[in-house]
Chain A
Amino acid sequence: MKQIPDPALPGELDPSTNTLKRDGKLILDESDSYGVEMALQLVGAAGDGSVTLVSMAPNDEVSGLRTALAMGAEKAVLVSDPSLSGADALTTAKVLAGAVGKAGDYDLIIAGTESSDGYTGTVPEQMAEVLGLPSVTFAKTIAVDGSTVKVDRQTESGYDEVTCPLPAVVSVTAGVVEPRYPSFKGIMAAKSKPVDTVTAADLGIESVSWAQSITNVEDAPAREAGEIIEDDGESFNKIVEFLDNLKVI
């Protein structure tokens, strides 16, 4: 799961590196809250087991992890390392795959489809490849049946039913389940749940580098602001006129 800057605040780039500023408090990415909830529900349905979080974030940031722990996850592994600042998706996937290994045995790895800040959308599938696992992306339902996971996977035109042996990686879409709000008891309990903070080197990843650099950032050409009117009961006529001028009616 990813911890991101509050999306309610305007995004900012660090002028020296052109990477997204991630210095302040980070919150649980809403996209990932669906994955956390799905994992908790699957554990609930199975009757035993637990949910472990893995995340990568700067400055030992745990605010988002604590939210997910308060929802009911049991423990977390956080990779926090200055050498990972600005890491690309492939590096992130390698690091998170290493963190999964650190977290112990697992049956299923669940992720959001893409983060709300970087939205690369490749990390779950890249993790699956690093770990040598099968994977299903864009799941809208997940059910575990013995050693198999059954997924309804969104497609451009509808959905596919997919079966996949465990262990596997599955990424879930937003709206797949309704994430629970942490209870007061959950919030209090989360404060003492274990978060294992490690560096890339702790995971056996000795040299970290990536093959891309941001070479320019500029304002996009602005769209000319148009006419804005308050509806006075007659504004529909403006729309009719507008459509008429474009000859679509």
Chain B
Amino acid sequence: MAIDNIWVFAQADGGTASTGTLELLTKANSLGGTVTAFVAGSAGDAAASLADHGAAKIYETGDLAGALPGAAVSAAMKAVIDGGDSPDLIMFPQNYEGRDVMSRLSVKLDRTVLTNSTDISVDGDSVSVQTPIFGGAKIVTSTFTGEGPFIAAFRPKSFEPAGGVGAAGEVVSAPVPDLGATGGATVTAVHVEETSGPKLDEAAVVVSGGRGLGESEKFEMIETLASVLKGAPGASRAIVDAGWVPYSYQVGQTGKVVKPTVYIAAGISGATQHMVGMKGSKNIIAINKDKEAPIFGVADLGIVGDVHKVLPQLLEALAAR
């Protein structure tokens, strides 16, 4: 069995394919064989983009009518597989929806899952994924040993999306079957936290604050600096957990993965959870009072100092330019 048939779990909200979806399609396309996108919802206007990134076929569940995607989409996938289209490999984004669908599907198919991956390699029938552990200090390679379909989830920004493939993009309906008791969770209201400026995971400059800011009011300095540099403000998990800023600001393993040109970490010690989310930044500036802080181990420019002194001076200097 070679890896001839690869599925990618696809998110295409509002007719736009998510960047993560396009990253996975591009990687799947590079592995050879047929690439299929499996859309949670309706492909709509996103179909063209999915095809452009390599999807020869696009399954769409149609409107999920408020159902959470885990039970619904995994059931739709299982139905298609039972119908005879059985993939060798199914790739998921390591995010909320991806994890939920993948987890349910792994039980339905009785297949193991490999998560938090950053790369995949195929050698004949053998499929291996690479996963950073210990905050990215070591890379573990895990190989599937059982029967396919193999199920793996990949961290955002593990691959570069590349269009221009021009695949067929044939859209096929994959309706959600009756979910019984598993389908009981229903979304009754959606709340979007408004942010201005560039999106955190797409900004060229990210300025993040952590516990070293001392109090929530001081986060304003982070927002001002981000704004001056036309970037996005971010945060460590510690201050998100403390309720200083919304979760959508969080950079890290369970937050956003960022790879900006410049990442400025102010008052962040550099816990493993955080490092995983920002270590791929091209340039890192860290400001922290504790010279032993792990963040200095990855910083290109480390300032051992008080953020309450350095940041105001920096803002003043930038304003004067």
**Which positions in A face B, CB cutoff 8 Å?**
10-11, 13, 18, 88-90, 93, 113-114, 119-126, 128-130, 132-138, 140, 153-165, 168, 173-175, 210-220, 223-231, 233, 235-240, 242-243, 246, 248-249
Contacts and interface: CB of A to CB of B under 8 A. Distances in A.
Contacts of B134: 10-11
22 contacts: A113-B254, A122-B103, A122-B115, A133-B181, A134-B184, A138-B96, A140-B247, A162-B186, A163-B186, A165-B181, A213-B143, A213-B145, A214-B141, A215-B143, A217-B139, A217-B140, A223-B297, A226-B300, A228-B291, A229-B303, A236-B317, A242-B283
A126 B140 CA distance: 23
Interface in B119-176: 128, 132-134, 136-147
B182 A157 contact: no
| Interface range for B | 35 or more
Given A125-B100, A213-B143, A218 B300 contact: no
A114 B264 CA distance: 27
Given A122-B115, A240-B318, A137 B100 contact: yes
A135 B185 contact: yes
Query: 10 closest A-B pairs (Cβ-Cβ)?
Result: A231-B305, A211-B146, A175-B241, A125-B103, A134-B184, A226-B300, A228-B302, A129-B107, A216-B141, A122-B103
- A-side binding surface: helix, strand, loop or mixed? mixed
B138 A217 contact: yes
B112 A88 contact: yes
B297 A246 contact: no
B71 A156 contact: no
Interface stretch (B42-50, B79-87, B188-196, B215-223): B188-196
B104 A125 contact: yes
A225 B297 contact: yes
Contact of B180 (A132, A228, A242): A132
Contacts of A140: 247
